[in-house]
Amino acid sequence: MAEEQNQHSSGQSSAISSSNSEQEHRQQAQQHHQQPQKKGGGSEKSASKSASIASLKESVISIYDKQYKKLLVIPAAVIIVAAVILLQSYSSTGSFFKKDISLSGGISVSAATDFSEDVALENELSQRFPGSDVGVRKLTQIGKSVGIVVEANIESESDIDAMLNLLSSRLDVNKGELTVQRVGATFGQSFFRQMIIGMLLAFVFMAIAVFIYFRIIAGKWLWLPGVFVVWTAFVDIVCTLAVVTFSGIHVSAAGLAAFLMLIGYSVDTDILLTVRALKGGELKLFDRIRSAVKTGIMMSLTAFCAVIAGYFFAESETIKQIMFILSAGMIFDIIHTWITNAGLLRWYLEKKGMA
């Protein structure tokens, strides 16, 4: 009997162990089945997201291909808004933009101080010296205010002395600690005229170089593609100048130099576009333009990132102004090059049977 009981108990234990092992196998099988389902669900979401991005990309490409004439309305509206801003500034101040003392003449006063109420000081000086274009800006170093600069287009000795006394009182510094720089109005206006003449000459020589280059690569004179390039460079500068005017920035001589640099940035991408469109081999015209867009946008974004970094990390106000003008100009260059110039150039080449 004892042997039978032992056999019976051992049979029960083996049955229980086999049952437990079967349950473990079932749980492992369920886990194996559940894990692929989770991965599959994640992959489905990823695939859906990729499909939506691809669909959006195709939609944008389709609009850029099929509706390129209608897209010309966008840069046209930008140009109109820029023209309105500049004309309004000219009608109210007699100038398209504000000039600092290096271009208009006047006085610049700087002081080493941690004074931070620059806006209030500018309002006070504007009330004290009505009719004078007064500008106040802080000098910063690693985000900390280390000085202040006051500029005003005043030349009268009595007004200058009154301003120095006021600044000495408001900034809590001795009058002898103020650094004063004077620029004569005649000298500033003469320098401004020379800069404008230099920009006009740059445009003329740039246009000549563009027309000759297109003559060489096309084997004949192609006037309209060259006109498109010159027009794009011109509206880039006009729209950027409107942003500067709207922002109330006092343009310095270095700022005008930044506008000269914009001519080079604009022509660079326009030449790329036109050459790809004229010399595309067996590719269709839109495929040639699309190839130019990929290269040109990458070039512009790379330069834009470098300029933005320079703006935020530079401590010199002059460098900040240059970087601000270049960054605004690059944004407008993307619009006018890849919508205006690309659309007009495609329209022209299709009519000429060069697509």
Q: What CATH number corresponds to the domain at position 178?
A: 3.30.70.260
Domain boundary among 183, 211, 238: 183
- Do 194 and 278 lie in one domain? The reply is yes
Pair 177, 191 in one domain: no
Same-domain status, 307 and 334: yes
Cα within 13 Å of Cα(319), Cβ side: 12
Domain residue limits at 88: 70-97+186-351
How many whole angstroms separate alpha carbon 231 and alpha carbon 345? 12
The residue out of 156, 183, 210 marking a domain boundary is 183
Same domain, 156 and 288: no
Rounded CA-CA distance 319/7 in Å is: 96
Indicate if 116 and 166 belong to the same structural domain: yes
Is residue 166 located within the same domain as residue 312?
no
Task: Identify the CA nearest to 214 among candidates 226, 202, 232.
Answer: 226
d(CA 210, CA 291): 21
Q: What is the DSSP letter of 340?
A: I
Identify the residue with better confidence: 7 or 242: 242
* CA distances to 67, 93, 228, 277 from 293, in Å: 16, 40, 16, 11
> What residues are paired with 99 via a beta bridge?
251
Q: For the chain, what percent of residues have pLDDT higher than 70?
A: 86
Reported as a pLDDT band with limits 50, 70 and 90, residue 28 is low
Q: How many residues does the structure list for the chain?
A: 355
Please check the confidence at residue 233 and state whether its pLDDT lies above 80.
Answer: yes
Q: What pLDDT, on the 0 to 100 scale, is given for residue 35?
A: 47
Transcribe 96-131 into DSSP letters.
SSEE-HHHH-EEEEEE------HHHHHHHHHHHSTT
Domain end, chosen from 152, 183, 214, is at 183
Residues 211 and 253 in one domain: yes
**In DSSP terms, which residues pair with 151 in a beta bridge?**
108, 135
Angle subtended by helix axes 285-313 and 317-335, to nearest 10: 160
Question: Is 244 within a domain?
Answer: yes
CA–CA gap between residue 51 and residue 261 (Å, rounded): 41
167 and 199 belong to one structural domain: no
User: How many domains, in total, are found in the chain?
Assistant: 2
Do both 76 and 140 map to the same domain? no
35 membership: H or E segment, kind and range? helix 2-66
Question: Could you tell me if residue 255 is inside a domain?
Answer: yes
| Residue 163 within a domain | yes
Domain with residue 229: its CATH number is: 1.20.1640.10
Per-residue pLDDT tens for 152-198? Answer: 888 778 888 888 888 888 888 888 888 888 887 777 788 888 888 98
Amino acid identity at 162 = A
Same domain, 257 and 308: yes
**Residues 248, 155 within the same domain:** no
